[in-house]
């Protein structure tokens, strides 16, 4: 009976402040839609960056004249690094084949000897596929006798990290501002509802109703506003990711996806925004002092 009353009062709050309730729901919807789209872009860009990083290797060129046992010993040393996932040895003969495959020319048609050195292609573990991780491995490689030169795509790695950092900052700033606007609108909506029900609240205070009992309908109202706005935003993003994008001819866009947990988290965040806004408003405008 108590829950039915509280829930009924929360619903009546929508009817007493239809315009402001709609505005709150709409802003939460727009906020979470924008945040969701930012998250979709960020998630898939990060996935693409990780895929590119996974293809970036450190190439350590060996000095000429190393014996097979010396090469094996070097490989074991490099494989023992905690950052290293895999080490692949490229012999001088394999280097010739790679040169021919990439440049379409047999090096022996140009020179009468093989100038290409043997090398190790070193793949790092995912957590070390960044500038700090790569440079840490290179510092260790430079201390190994038998390695003549070291190459890796530093410029590409630097660009990827800077772009991702910029995207992350933009997401955080925009997410904070949009969330703040949503909470402020919910606060205003609940404040208007409290004002419309000030006589009822005063009566309840006079008959000894607890503050928690009086506040509960307003908290539920804010929670419902957040839930409805979040539900619509999750639905729109689901349609975009699962129905619209897969039907586009673009190969890059066809790989866009979101984890299953994303949608319930988005709805939960919407409920949280609504609850926080209503809690702040109720705490500020409903006190133990009888409303006059």
Per-residue pLDDT of the chain (292 residues; tens, 9 = 90+): 466 656 666 666 666 666 767 777 887 888 888 888 888 887 887 777 777 777 778 888 888 878 888 888 888 988 988 888 888 888 878 877 777 776 766 766 666 666 778 888 888 888 888 878 888 888 888 888 888 888 887 777 777 777 777 877 887 787 788 778 777 777 777 677 667 666 666 766 666 666 666 677 777 878 888 898 899 999 999 888 888 877 766 555 667 778 888 999 989 988 888 888 888 877 776 665 544 4
| Domain range list for the chain | 2-51+159-285, 57-152
- pTM for the predicted model, two decimal places: 0.64
Separation between Cα atoms, residue 91 and residue 117, nearest integer Å:
8
Separation between Cα atoms, residue 189 and residue 210, nearest integer Å:
23
CA-based end-to-end distance of the chain? 28
Beta strand 147-151 with 58-62 is antiparallel
Query: Backbone phi, then psi, for 61, in 5-degree steps?
Result: -85, 135
- Per DSSP (E only), the strands in the chain are 58-62, 84-90, 119-124, 147-151
CATH architecture group of domain 57-152:
2-Layer Sandwich (3.30)
């Amino acid at each position: 009976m108590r829950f039915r009353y509280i829930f009924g009062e929360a619903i009546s709050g929508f009817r007493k402040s239809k315009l402001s309730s709609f505005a709150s729901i709409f802003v939460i919807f727009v906020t979470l839609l924008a945040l969701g789209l930012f998250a979709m872009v960020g998630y898939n860009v990060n996935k693409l960056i990780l895929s590119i990083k996974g293809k970036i290797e450190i190439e350590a060129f060996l000095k000429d004249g190393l014996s097979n046992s010396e090469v094996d010993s070097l490989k074991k040393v490099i494989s023992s690094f905690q950052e290293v996932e895999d080490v692949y040895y490229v012999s001088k003969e394999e280097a010739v084949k790679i040169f021919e495959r990439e440049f379409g020319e047999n090096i022996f048609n140009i020179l009468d000897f093989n100038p290409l050195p043997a090398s190790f292609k070193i793949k790092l573990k995912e957590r070390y596929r960044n500038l700090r991780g790569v440079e840490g491995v290179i510092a260790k490689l430079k201390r190994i006798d038998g390695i003549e030169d070291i190459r890796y795509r530093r410029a590409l790695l630097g660009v990827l990290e800077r772009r991702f950092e910029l995207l992350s900052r933009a997401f955080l700033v925009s997410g904070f501002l949009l969330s703040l606007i949503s909470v402020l609108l919910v606060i205003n909506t609940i404040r208007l509802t409290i004002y419309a029900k000030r006589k009822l609240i005063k009566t309840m205070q006079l008959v000894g109703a607890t503050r928690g009992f009086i506040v509960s309908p307003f908290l539920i109202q804010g929670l419902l506003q957040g839930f409805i706005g979040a539900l619509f935003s999750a639905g729109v993003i689901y349609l975009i990711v699962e129905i619209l994008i897969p039907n586009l001819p673009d190969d890059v866009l066809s790989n866009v996806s979101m984890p299953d947990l994303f949608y319930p988290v988005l709805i939960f965040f919407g409920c949280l925004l609504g609850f926080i806004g209503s809690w702040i408003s109720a705490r500020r405008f409903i006190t133990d002092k009888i409303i006059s």
